[in-house]
Every structure is written in structure tokens, then in C-alpha cells.
Structure 1
Amino acid sequence: MDLTRLPRSFGATLPDWVLEELTHSPTVLPTHADRMELALRLAARNPLEGSGGPFAALVVDTATGELVSAGVNLVLSSGLSAAHAEITALSLAQTRIGDWDLGATGAPDRELVVNWRPCAQCYGAVLWSGVKRLVIAGEGPEVEHLTGFDEGPMREDWAEQLRRRGVEVVIGVRREQAVSMFAEYGRVAVERGLTVYNARGGA
């Protein structure tokens, strides 16, 4: 085997259009509704730009509302199955502060804002990231029914497990808006032939 051909790095890059969206948004988002509004706007645009699925996430300073990072699902544009919105946002926040622990001693409390409950993969990422709060638009089968994505096996007491580990969970911020966005994505995906990726069964 030629070891020089083995990859030694991997990564994903936030598309320029995300920064364009952020230039039209305040950098301080005072309320959960404000934060979710931005996440939903990014999530709705993401599949139309070819980056990945209709998912976005923000890391926000809980007390001040300052935006620390923003991420969208980059699975299609990066070719990496792990490049979900939560992973992207958490990784960019960790890169920005120069620390893997977003909840280190002396650091401000930070929260992750996502336009639906994290999938099985991102649930673990939230757990290990150090964020002190998870804010989601909703939970339930709507995402899978409306979009065709597989969110993976999640234990029923997932929120309680996070709370036991010091992560506050807020559910139901702009839920109806999120469900409407997923329904619209499902319609557009069929009309335009957008890729709904699933390694176990295709689109």
C-alpha cells in the first residue's frame, strides 16, 4: 500500500451564501424566537443551494444573545455523512473560541439552537460539546414523514438524559413554522428531484 495516498485531513466549508444571509441579520439575537427565526431561514435555503438537507443550527451566547457560530447541513456539498448542521455549528464555535469544551469553567453559557430535535448522531455531539442549553423547534415524526430523512433510533427519554447531564432543553420554539418549512421542502424535493440521502436505502 502506498501510504502517501492515505488521506490525512478532512473538513467542510460553510458556503458563501450563509455569510450573505448573516450580513442581513443582527449579530445579537435576544430571544429564542429570534434565534430560531434565523435557523429556519438558513434551513429553508440550504437544500435550494445544494448544500444538504433542510437543517441549520446556531451556537449563541445564552446571556447576551451574541451569535457565536452558524451551521447548515453540508452532507452533499462536503461528501461527508457526519456534516450535519449541529456538527458544523458546534465545530465552528469550538474553532472560534479555540477550545473543544464550549462549557469550560469561566466561559459564558452557550446554547445550541436547531430547527428540530437532533438525530442520533447529533444527540451525542450535543452531549459532548459543553453547551448548557439545547433549543429546538420541535420533536416527533414530522421530519421523517415530510422529508424522507432517517433520524435514527432515539431513546424516548433523550431530553431527560441531557438534563441529567446539565443541558437544559427547550422544545417548541416556532414549531408550526418549522413543520411548514419541512412540508414545503418535501414538496420541492419531489418537484426538483432534490437528493434525500439515506445510505441504507437511497432516496
Structure 2
Amino acid sequence: MNHWINIKLPIPKWLNTWAIGIPETLPDANQRMSLVIDLARMSIKNGGGPFGAAVFNQHTGELIAPGVNWVVPGKSSLLHAEVMALVLAEQTLGSYELASHGSFELVTSVEPCCQCLGVLLWAGVASVVCGAHSEDAQAIGFNEGPRSMHWEQELKQRGVSVTREVMRPQAVEVLQSYTGEIYNSQLQVSNRSG
């Protein structure tokens, strides 16, 4: 029988040096999204997926934690950009729940998939800001999973504000530039169920 040890989720080594020179606060939604889109570009450049995310203090614009899609290099389906940003923010604040430490915003280059929707609810963010639509990710082959057609309204009913299409053309451009592995495509899902 195997003996399991603590779970360790790898983050890219470059992520710790990436933030050097970035302003401490980014008060404007476009500045925040620009940073997240840059993270998605850096992720592709370094072998990751075409998604970026970050957690910010909603009122001050302070960057709490970045995240990139590191599923393939990190060998874990958990390593979506939103999940990484939320986990690193929780570790930074020393809590499994962000709402008790203030009001935080998750900025993501693409609307959250089914996994990330669940995680952001439990993490306690007050706001979600999205760039590209999930259909934009699906157009290059990614499967976003079973999400309610009313996900935006459902988040709002739970007190999470949603802003969509912030710098969407730039976010879509990053998606369309991706030539790496599509690890959860529609085809792979249908092959497994057969």
C-alpha cells in the first residue's frame, strides 16, 4: 500500500520574479486585466496554458497573488490559473477563506470553468472580473465543463459581483496564440465516456 505525504502543488519558478517592477497597487480594472493577460502570455512562453488570474484587494487594487494555468507542467488538473491565484492568496493571508480578511477581487483572463466557479465561491471573493468568454476558450478546443447557463446571476445571488468582457479582444488574442496541449478537449471527454 502507498503512503501519502502532504500535497504539494508546484508553481512555476519564474512566477516569483515576474512581479518585480510591478506597481504595488493597480486601481483600474484595465490595469489589473492587462497584468492578468500578461500572466497568460508568460504562462504560454514558459510551457503552461493560456490562462492567467490574480487576486487583488478590491478597494486598494493591491496585488495579493498571481496565478497561471500550470496543469500540464505541474501534472495536476487542479492547477488552473484561478485556483493557483486563490490558493496563493489564502496562503498569503493565512486563511482558507478570504472574506474574513477584507474584500477581494478575482481577475481572470477567461471566464471561470466549472472547477474554478466552485473554488471562487468557497474562497470568499466579493467580485470576479473576466476577459474572454468561455466560448472563446472552447473555440480553441478547451472543455469548460458543465456550467449553468445562469452562472453570472447565480454568483450575483450569492453576493459576488461579476464584470465581463474587460479587454476581451486582448484576452482572445492570447488564447488564439496558444499552440500547446489541449488537455481536456471535447474529443478526449467523449472518448472516455464511450
Pairwise same-fold verdict (TM > 0.5): yes
Give the aligned residue type for 2:116: C
- Separation in 2, partners of 1:17, 1:140: 27
Aligned residue pairs total 188
Give the aligned residue type for 2:40: A
- Separation in 2, partners of 1:11, 1:148: 28
RMSD between aligned alpha carbons? 1.5
Unaligned runs of 5+ residues in structure 1 are none
- Who is 2:152 aligned against? 159
Is 1:45 the counterpart of 2:31? The answer is: no
Give the aligned residue type for 1:197: Y
The alpha-carbon deviation at position 27 of structure 1 amounts to 2.1
Q: Which moved more, 1:52-61 or 1:10-19?
A: 10-19
Give the aligned residue type for 1:180: E
Say which SS state the counterpart of residue 99 (structure 2) adopts.
coil
Is 1:89 the counterpart of 2:75? The answer is: no
- Separation in 2, partners of 1:78, 1:138: 24
Q: Contact 1:11/1:78 (CA < 8 Å) preserved in 2?
A: no
- Separation in 1, partners of 2:108, 2:134: 14
Once the two structures are superposed, what CA deviation does each residue of 1:39-80 show, in whole Å capped at 9, x if it has no partner?
Answer: 000101212211x21111100001111010011111112211
Unaligned runs of 5+ residues in structure 2 are 190-194
Q: Which moved more, 1:153-162 or 1:15-24?
A: 15-24
The alpha-carbon deviation at position 140 of structure 1 amounts to 4.2
The match for 1:108 among 99, 102, 126 is 102
Q: Alignment identity in percent?
A: 36
Is 1:179 the counterpart of 2:165? The answer is: no
- Separation in 2, partners of 1:42, 1:96: 19
Q: Contact 2:113/2:134 (CA < 8 Å) preserved in 1?
A: no
Say which SS state the counterpart of residue 129 (structure 2) adopts.
strand
Taking a change above 3 Å as real, the CA distance of residues 178 and 64 of structure 1, as seen in their structure-2 partners, is same
The alpha-carbon deviation at position 96 of structure 1 amounts to 0.8
Q: Contact 2:131/2:167 (CA < 8 Å) preserved in 1?
A: yes
